[in-house]
């Protein structure tokens, strides 16, 4: 019924020097249990790759151990790699674009892809033992067919246990039978001696009588009376067919009487080659080469030996008695086995009948035909099991009542998921001078996160990240309303606060009481290189400035969308927008609270502090690399623990554009020209074509001045915002010197 699996284990330090031990261990285990070289070699390659990743990434910042456990089943081989390093789920790694890899000549990065191709199952979990990577490959089809090619019979549990019990019982009975079989000959032989020896002694006492004494000249002469002996012998051995013959001799061994007439009046002696199987009996072979058992007893008169009486029995009689006893034993064994089998069947039926009822009930329940609950009046383990099933019956019956409601909710959730997927953008638009990357991950329930890219005009892009308070279909419908309102109102409007005010007017009257939406809306003007943004009660947008390594939290004032305010115009009056200009390699991060509230199995939150640390660590990466690294950090922290809220990230990175460089060169050339330098020479020295200078910049510089297209310092971040690092320093000063006034601080 239940078959145990073989397990083998090894633990080595997490160092490349010990990779060979892991490979050799799985090779030895696989071959020992009959797995093909294909399976073994696949595991060698995959374990080498997986263990290398553990060493380089999981134990990047500290040393540790790698435990490898090999689980051998009939049809598969499973290898577990367990570590206590940094959590990383390989299932999140997408398959690479091999054509692109070949095109750019990229090396490496194919480890997980190769593992997926070579193995049948790859699972990664956080367990009590640590991070557990489970690799499984099934046995080769030909090998598996060879292993299970023999025919098997399917038996019920009752039949199986009956056969097992019958086999054990029969084995004990057979062992007992053969024990008594070999002991039976000795016992029958002893009984034979016990019965025959007294007959011999009794005859020896009765075959002689006082009247047979002849007294001549004062000397007693003893004469045996054959007729009297014959009478006594026939009387004593009547009905005892086993006695072969009776012989009476005098002291000179001369036969005085013999039931075998052939021996009368002849001397009789026991052959010299006789044997003594027992102190009371002698065995020898007679003239016909038959084994004879001979009992002897002295004939005594007045305490004087006057002769010897011999009683003989053929060995065939003893053998027949032994065989008869053994046959009786066999009949008894058959009777015992028969009743034993019947008892086993009855006992197994009594024991397993409750289990049969349970099995029938489970089958009925599985087919939906169960009507009555099971009830057993017993206090043993079966009763406890039955009670557990009864409890399950009650629980499942209650669940059945709620099944329709659950199905309705499930359909609603599926519908909400479908709606949500249609609302989210399928790709990220390209915008000159900026890198944009996004990431969205749904929680176990349909969340309310939403993000979108909206074309304001050909040079301007709107980016929105929102979080709807409701979930399910109502939340998805609110998302649909927000998306429609944004795409309707955002066209050609470059004020984020104005757009959000219009969106609020669009949806506020249609939203259910108690529901609201927090939004962060960003408008990127790629022509003027400016970013305008507004927040409707959302998380702050984070700006990381690579040049100074400072982090800024940007969050203008604003109510969430959809709240019914006493004054309808209050939303528009209260919401603010701000405009900034990014420096080269600046990164903007717009996110939902699913990031900071991401939770691990210890109920710890990812928190703002960890987010800020991760931004500082990955801020120098390209936008997509930044998003990938940040999400990896979040998943490493949560260790696969199910989240209750969606995770949404949009990253915007300012990159150095050709237009910006060309503008700087044109400004430098114009300054040289105004100082009297030749136009051609100035353009050549500054690295700009004469054509570009004349057609794009000369007129603007002459009419509006050289600073007409310069970056607007009044909208720089530093002029209006303090970085988190600067705020921290101020807080430290206040904490250390609370007596300082505002000016001194």
- The class (CATH top level) of 6-147 is alpha beta
Q: Which residues contact 396 (CB under 8 A, 6 or more apart)?
A: 365
Q: Which residues contact 137 (CB under 8 A, 6 or more apart)?
A: 39, 42, 43, 76, 77, 118, 119, 120, 121
Instruction: Look at residues 436, 425, 512, 404 and name the one whose alpha carbon lies nearest to residue 468.
Output: 512
Section 634-662 average pLDDT = 83
* pLDDT, position 687: 82
Structure-token pair, residue 582: 């990014």
The larger pLDDT score, comparing residue 371 to residue 626, is at 626
Section 58-85 average pLDDT = 90
Cβ atoms of 94 and 113 within 8 Å: the answer is no
Among 73-87, 477-491, 626-640, 717-731, whose mean pLDDT is lowest?
717-731
Cα-Cα-Cα-Cα dihedral sign, residues 184, 187, 190, 195? negative
* pLDDT, position 446: 59
Distance, CA of 151 to CA of 159 (rounded, Å)? 18
Q: Which residues contact 692 (CB under 8 A, 6 or more apart)?
A: 662, 666
Distance, CA of 258 to CA of 184 (rounded, Å)? 33
* pLDDT, position 174: 92
Distance, CA of 667 to CA of 710 (rounded, Å)? 9
The larger pLDDT score, comparing residue 676 to residue 4, is at 676
Among 160-174, 190-204, 361-375, 474-488, whose mean pLDDT is lowest?
361-375
CA-to-CA separations, 700 to 129, 199, 570, 663, 708, in angstroms, rounded: 69, 152, 42, 12, 7
φ, ψ for residue 209 (rounded to 5)?
-135, 160
Distance, CA of 256 to CA of 300 (rounded, Å)? 15
pLDDT at residue 705 tops 90: no
Distance, CA of 275 to CA of 281 (rounded, Å)? 9
Q: Three-state SS for 611?
A: helix
Q: Each residue of 256-287: pLDDT tens digit?
A: 888 887 887 788 888 888 899 889 899 998 87
Q: Each residue of 220-242: pLDDT tens digit?
A: 556 677 777 777 777 777 777 78
- How many Cα atoms sit within 13 Å of 681 on the Cβ side? 7
3-state DSSP percent of the chain in helix, strand and coil, to 5: 45, 20, 30
Q: Which residues contact 83 (CB under 8 A, 6 or more apart)?
A: 14, 54, 58, 59, 64, 65, 66, 67, 130, 131
pLDDT at residue 377 tops 70: no
* pLDDT, position 85: 87
- In 251-341 the beta strands, taken as DSSP E runs, fall at 255-258, 275-278, 281-285, 291-301, 304-314
pLDDT at residue 198 tops 60: yes
pLDDT band at 288, cuts 50/70/90? confident
Cβ atoms of 659 and 697 within 8 Å: the answer is no
φ, ψ for residue 457 (rounded to 5)?
-155, -170
Number of Cβ within 10 Å of residue 655's Cβ equals 15
* pLDDT, position 4: 63
Distance, CA of 345 to CA of 356 (rounded, Å)? 14
Which residues are bridge partners to 434 per DSSP?
A: 431, 654
Percent of the chain surpassing pLDDT 90: 27
Instruction: Look at residues 337, 336, 329 and name the one whose alpha carbon lies nearest to residue 185.
Output: 329
Cβ atoms of 80 and 71 within 8 Å: the answer is yes
Q: Each residue of 15-56: pLDDT tens digit?
A: 988 999 999 999 999 998 889 988 999 899 899 988 988 998
Cβ atoms of 35 and 143 within 8 Å: the answer is yes
Structure-token pair, residue 696: 């794009």
Structure-token pair, residue 370: 């169960």
pLDDT at residue 5 tops 60: yes
Q: Each residue of 527-575: pLDDT tens digit?
A: 777 899 999 999 999 999 988 889 999 999 999 998 888 888 899 999 9
pLDDT band at 171, cuts 50/70/90? very high
pLDDT band at 618, cuts 50/70/90? very high
Which residues are bridge partners to 544 per DSSP?
A: 551, 587
Distance, CA of 220 to CA of 582 (rounded, Å)? 156
* pLDDT, position 335: 93
Whose structure tokens read 């009930």?
Answer: 361
Cβ atoms of 97 and 38 within 8 Å: the answer is no
Outline where 526-638 has alpha helix (H). Answer: 570-574, 607-618, 623-638
For the stretch 489-493, contacts whose Cβ atoms lie closer than 8 Å and that sit 24 or more positions apart, written own/partner, are 490/454, 490/456, 490/462, 491/456, 491/457, 492/456, 492/457, 493/456
* pLDDT, position 60: 83
End-to-end CA distance of the chain: 78
pLDDT at residue 217 tops 60: no
Distance, CA of 475 to CA of 419 (rounded, Å)? 10
Section 626-645 average pLDDT = 88
Section 429-442 average pLDDT = 89
- Cα radius of gyration rounded to whole Å, the chain: 53
Q: Three-state SS for 450?
A: strand
* pLDDT, position 220: 55
Distance, CA of 640 to CA of 85 (rounded, Å)? 14
Going by CATH, does the domain composed of 423-655 fall within 2.120.10.30?
no
Section 578-602 average pLDDT = 90
pLDDT at residue 455 tops 60: yes
Section 679-703 average pLDDT = 85
φ, ψ for residue 135 (rounded to 5)?
-115, 125
Distance, CA of 611 to CA of 629 (rounded, Å)? 12
The larger pLDDT score, comparing residue 100 to residue 463, is at 463
Section 441-462 average pLDDT = 84
Number of Cβ within 10 Å of residue 155's Cβ equals 12
Section 293-305 average pLDDT = 87
- The class (CATH top level) of 180-322 is alpha beta
Mind spelling out the 3-state secondary structure of 180-227? Answer: HHHHHHHHHHHHHHHHHHHHHHHHHHHCCCHHHEEEECCEEEECCCHH
Return mean pLDDT, the chain: 83
* pLDDT, position 382: 62
pLDDT at residue 576 tops 70: yes
Section 346-370 average pLDDT = 73
Among 77-91, 309-323, 606-620, 705-719, whose mean pLDDT is lowest?
705-719
Q: Each residue of 335-348: pLDDT tens digit?
A: 999 999 999 888 88
Distance, CA of 207 to CA of 222 (rounded, Å)? 12
Which residues are bridge partners to 451 per DSSP?
A: 465
Distance, CA of 92 to CA of 88 (rounded, Å)? 9
pLDDT band at 12, cuts 50/70/90? very high
CA dihedral of 365, 370, 372, 375, whole degrees rounded to 10:
-30
pLDDT at residue 712 tops 80: no
pLDDT band at 577, cuts 50/70/90? very high
pLDDT at residue 253 tops 50: yes
DSSP letters for 492-547: T---HHHHHHHHHHHHGGGSPTT--EEEEEEEEETTTTEEEEEEEBPPPEEEEETT
Cβ atoms of 258 and 164 within 8 Å: the answer is no
Write the Ramachandran bin of 436: left for phi over 0, alpha for psi from -120 to 50, otherwise beta: beta
Which residues are bridge partners to 68 per DSSP?
A: 10, 81
Distance, CA of 121 to CA of 581 (rounded, Å)? 49
* pLDDT, position 7: 87
Which residues are bridge partners to 670 per DSSP?
A: none
Distance, CA of 3 to CA of 71 (rounded, Å)? 13
């Amino acid at each position: 019924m239940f078959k145990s699996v073989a397990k083998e284990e090894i633990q080595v330090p997490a160092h490349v020097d010990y990779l060979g031990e892991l490979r050799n261990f799985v090779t030895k285990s696989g071959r020992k249990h009959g797995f093909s070289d294909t399976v073994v070699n696949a595991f060698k390659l995959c374990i080498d790759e997986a263990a290398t990743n553990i060493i380089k990434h999981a134990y990047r910042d500290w040393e540790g151990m790698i435990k490898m456990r090999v689980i051998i089943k009939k049809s598969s081989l499973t290898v577990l790699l367990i570590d206590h390093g940094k959590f990383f789920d390989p299932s999140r790694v997408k398959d690479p674009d091999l054509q692109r890899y070949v095109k750019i000549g990229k090396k490496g990065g194919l480890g997980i892809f190769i593992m997926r191709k070579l193995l049948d199952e790859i699972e990664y979990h956080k367990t009590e033992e640590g991070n557990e990577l489970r690799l499984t490959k099934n046995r080769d089809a030909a090998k598996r067919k060879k292993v299970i090619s023999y025919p098997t019979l399917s038996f019920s549990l009752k039949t199986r246990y009956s056969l097992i019990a019958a086999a054990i019982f029969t084995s004990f009975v057979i062992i007992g039978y053969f024990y008594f079989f070999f002991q039976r000959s000795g016992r029958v032989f002893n009984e034979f001696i016990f019965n025959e020896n007294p007959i011999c002694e009794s005859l020896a006492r009765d075959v002689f009588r006082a009247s047979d004494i002849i007294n001549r000249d004062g000397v007693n002469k003893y004469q045996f009376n054959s007729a009297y002996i014959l009478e006594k012998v026939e009387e004593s051995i009547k009905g005892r067919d086993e006695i072969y013959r009776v012989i009476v001799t005098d002291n000179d061994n001369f036969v005085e009487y013999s039931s075998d007439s052939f021996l009368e009046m002849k001397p009789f002696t026991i052959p010299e080659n006789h044997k003594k199987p027992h102190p009371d009996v002698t065995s020898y072979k007679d003239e016909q080469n038959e084994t004879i058992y001979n009992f002897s007893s002295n004939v005594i008169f007045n305490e004087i030996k006057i002769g010897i009486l011999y009683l003989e029995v053929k060995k065939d009689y003893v053998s027949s008695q032994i065989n008869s006893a053994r046959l009786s034993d066999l009949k008894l064994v058959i009777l015992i086995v028969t009743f034993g089998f019947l008892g086993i069947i009855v006992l197994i039926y009594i024991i397993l009948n409750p289990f049969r009822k349970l099995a029938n009930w489970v089958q009925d329940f599985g087919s939906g035909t169960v009507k009555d609950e099971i009830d057993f009046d017993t206090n043993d383990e079966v009763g406890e099991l039955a009670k557990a099933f009864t409890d399950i019956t009650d629980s499942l019956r209650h669940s059945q009542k709620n099944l329709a409601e659950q199905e309705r909710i499930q359909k609603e959730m599926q519908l909400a998921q479908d709606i949500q997927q249609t609302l989210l953008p399928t790709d990220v638009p390209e915008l000159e001078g900026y890198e944009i990357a996004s990431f969205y991950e749904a929680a176990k329930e349909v969340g309310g996160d939403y993000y979108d890219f909206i074309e304001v005009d050909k040079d301007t892009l709107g980016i929105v990240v929102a979080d709807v308070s409701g979930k399910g279909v109502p939340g998805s419908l609110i998302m649909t309303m927000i998306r429609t309102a944004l795409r309707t109102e955002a066209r050609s409007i470059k004020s984020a606060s104005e757009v959000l005010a219009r969106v609020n007017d669009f949806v506020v009257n249609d939203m259910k009481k108690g529901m609201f939406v927090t939004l962060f809306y960003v408008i990127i003007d790629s022509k003027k290189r400016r970013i305008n943004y507004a927040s409707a009660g959302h998380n702050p947008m984070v700006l990381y400035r690579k040049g100074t390594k400072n982090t800024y939290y940007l969050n203008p004032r604003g109510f969430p969308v959809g709240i019914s305010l006493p004054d309808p115009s209050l939303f528009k009056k209260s919401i603010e927008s701000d405009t900034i200009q990014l420096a080269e390699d600046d990164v903007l991060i717009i996110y939902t609270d699913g990031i900071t509230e991401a939770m691990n199995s210890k109920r710890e939150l990812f928190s703002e502090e960890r987010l800020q640390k991760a931004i500082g660590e990955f801020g120098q990466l390209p936008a997509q690399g930044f998003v990938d690294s940040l999400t990896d950090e979040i998943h490493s922290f949560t260790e696969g623990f199910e989240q209750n809220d969606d995770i949404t990230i949009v990253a915007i990175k300012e990159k150095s554009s050709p237009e910006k460089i060309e503008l700087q060169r044109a400004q430098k050339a114009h300054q040289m020209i105004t100082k009297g330098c030749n136009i051609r020479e100035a353009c050549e020295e500054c690295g700009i074509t004469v054509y570009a200078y004349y057609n794009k910049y000369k007129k603007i510089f002459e009419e509006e001045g050289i600073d007409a297209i310069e970056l607007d310092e009044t909208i720089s971040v530093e002029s209006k915002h303090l970085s988190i690092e600067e705020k921290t320093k101020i807080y430290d000063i206040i904490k250390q010197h609370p007596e300082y006034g505002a000016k001194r601080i």
